[in-house]
Amino acid sequence: MLFCLCLYNPINYMHTLSEENYLKCIYRLWQDKGLKITPTAIAESLGNNPASVVDMIRKLTDKQLINYDKKKGVELTAQGQKDATLIVRRHRLWEVFLLEKLGYDWDEIHDIAEEMEHIKDASLADRLDKFLGFPEYDPHGDPIPKANGKMAKRYSTTLADLKTGGYCRVAAVKDTTSSFLQYLQKLNISIGTKIQLIEKIPFDSSLVISIDGNERTTVSQKFGESVLIDM
Amino acid sequence: MLFCLCLYNPINYMHTLSEENYLKCIYRLWQDKGLKITPTAIAESLGNNPASVVDMIRKLTDKQLINYDKKKGVELTAQGQKDATLIVRRHRLWEVFLLEKLGYDWDEIHDIAEEMEHIKDASLADRLDKFLGFPEYDPHGDPIPKANGKMAKRYSTTLADLKTGGYCRVAAVKDTTSSFLQYLQKLNISIGTKIQLIEKIPFDSSLVISIDGNERTTVSQKFGESVLIDM
DNA sequence: TAATAAAATTAGGCAAGACTAATTTTATTT
DNA sequence: AAATAAAATTAGTCTTGCCTAATTTTATTA
């Protein structure tokens, strides 16, 4: 009887804090680029040692949340995708709550949501979603996965991809560090801000832009690659 | 210079999950009764082994959050009281949020708040407090500590203390297990419900009561001792 | 007061999840 | 293809926070 249970319910739905953070990290790497997800990439992303990552890869493989193949790298299983999506859903919903309901600033919410996303209750995300009015995007412009796992369009074109003279609107940000978000605030850029690319400096790919039709400002290539746009 | 830092800033404001749970437990034992707080009492309350408690007593003593004396038992230092009060404040505020904003039932909120109380952000409790309209009591009738540490009256008289024929109103509950709260709901008892004690059975101290003027019901002594009243 | 019971403590161990150092495997150059 | 560099892996260690078992201390009772 116990054997049957093991056969048909092989998934352990409770994950540790650490497991959840690895899952989320793998999910993010998978979404960000189509690249192979290596232990080194995960280690860099989490600020951990590759040796620790190898340990966790074994653990998550045993729990059937990922598959690991030296050639293909790490891949989320269907269950792993589901679980990671739920964590991301909770994270983004809490960000909306913190900004809209508690009045936090743009640059403060990420770190707090980083803790709140791990609160485990079967109906919490759905209740919060309803309470917030089923938002489609979080304050950084990232789409919030729905209860069924589906989500709105993810923006992938960056300001650095815009061609000279072109116009765009800021759709999302690729970086959630407070240093970047505070810089954006200083430049008066938020989600929806209209930007024109005036010139691209060949030497270092710096961008000369006009924010909301105002005077020109120069920003770095790194900056341009961190701003996702809608054309 | 480092030495100076140690001298004047001896308190470590970041506590682990486990440390916070011990602090909260000690705080509760201290509030519940004026009894000596022994390692065994803490162990029972947390469901841990006394040997583990002794380890943590050493750790919390080193962090200057408690004092331990074999004669007097465990006592919270001023800092320990402050930190424990903040955890309790967060717990009770989240309970209000979960019930009022997310529509959870009375018996579901305690366990979730048990996780949420550990979210660390300097202004979170104060923002949540404001968002909720500065509630005085949580859904179980426990007073919510204010930002300054002060709090409204705690009820201490129980239904079992009421004298025969006397009337009271339910002010709070001493037990937050879902089995107890579901039983209360079944009996149609909530905070504010008017109860009359009709008779006390000498044999086992069972109580014959009338809820909201309705027909008589008999409840156990254990039940009576878990209901806090306002006379 | 001596005997017994209960509580507190010490000693040693275990699992999780991180680390370093050493080694093996894979990729990249020359 | 051989040499070198980089990545992956293994082995062993550390800390936290728990455990059990054994021992010591304190309380209780005959």
A49 exposed, middle or buried (CB, 10 Å; 0-12, 13-18, 19+)?
exposed
If pLDDT is split at 50, 70 and 90, which confidence band does A8 have? very low
Mean pLDDT, to the nearest integer, of A107-120? 97
- Asked if pLDDT for residue A230 goes beyond 80, the answer is yes
Give the separation between CA A12 and CA A27, rounded to whole angstroms: 19
pLDDT of residue A12: 55
pLDDT of residue B176: 87
- Asked if pLDDT for residue A3 goes beyond 80, the answer is no
Q: Which amino acid is at A198?
A: I
A215 exposed, middle or buried (CB, 10 Å; 0-12, 13-18, 19+)?
exposed
Give the separation between CA A91 and CA A103, rounded to whole angstroms: 17
- Asked if pLDDT for residue B9 goes beyond 50, the answer is no
- Asked if pLDDT for residue B42 goes beyond 80, the answer is yes
pLDDT of residue B122: 95
Out of A101, A115, A119, closest to residue B131 by CB: A101
pTM: 0.89
Q: Measured in angstroms, what separates residue B145's CA from nucleotide D15's C1'? A: 34
The DSSP secondary-structure symbol of B64 reads T
Give the separation between CA B97 and CA A109, rounded to whole angstroms: 18
Q: Measured in angstroms, what separates residue B56's CA from nucleotide D19's C1'? A: 14
Q: Which amino acid is at B164?
A: T
3-state SS assignment for residue A116: helix
pLDDT higher at A47 or B12: A47
CB atoms within 10 A of CB B150: 9
Residues of A 72-111 whose CB lies less than 7 Å from any atom of strand D: 73
Q: Measured in angstroms, what separates residue B111's CA from nucleotide D19's C1'? A: 25
Percentage of the residues of chain A whose pLDDT score is greater than 70: 94
CATH number of B159-230: 2.30.30.90
CATH number of B9-76: 1.10.10.10
- Spell out the domain ranges in chain B: 9-76, 159-230
**pLDDT tens-digit readout, A185-202:** 999 999 999 999 999 999
| Residue in A closest to B124 by C-alpha | A102
If pLDDT is split at 50, 70 and 90, which confidence band does B13 have? low
Mention every residue, 6+ apart, whose C-beta is less than 8 A from residue A155: A141, A171, A172, A228, A229, A230
Q: How far apart, in Å, are the Cα atoms of A53 and each of A7, A20, A34, B201?
A: 28, 13, 20, 64
pLDDT of residue A35: 87
> Which CATH number applies to A2-76: 1.20.120.550, 3.30.465.10, 3.30.1130.10, 1.10.10.10?
1.10.10.10
A213 touches strand C (CB under 7 A): no
A213 exposed, middle or buried (CB, 10 Å; 0-12, 13-18, 19+)?
exposed
Mention every residue, 6+ apart, whose C-beta is less than 8 A from residue A32: none
- Asked if pLDDT for residue B34 goes beyond 90, the answer is no
Chain D: positions less than 7 Å from a protein CB are: 7-12, 16-22, 26-27
A38 touches strand D (CB under 7 A): yes
CB contact under 8 A, A120 and B115: yes
pLDDT of residue A33: 77
pLDDT higher at A220 or A1: A220
Q: Check if the beta carbon of residue A146 is closer than 8 Å to that of residue A90.
A: no
Interface of B with A in 80-139 (CB under 8 A): 101-104, 111-112, 115-116, 118-121, 124, 127-128, 131
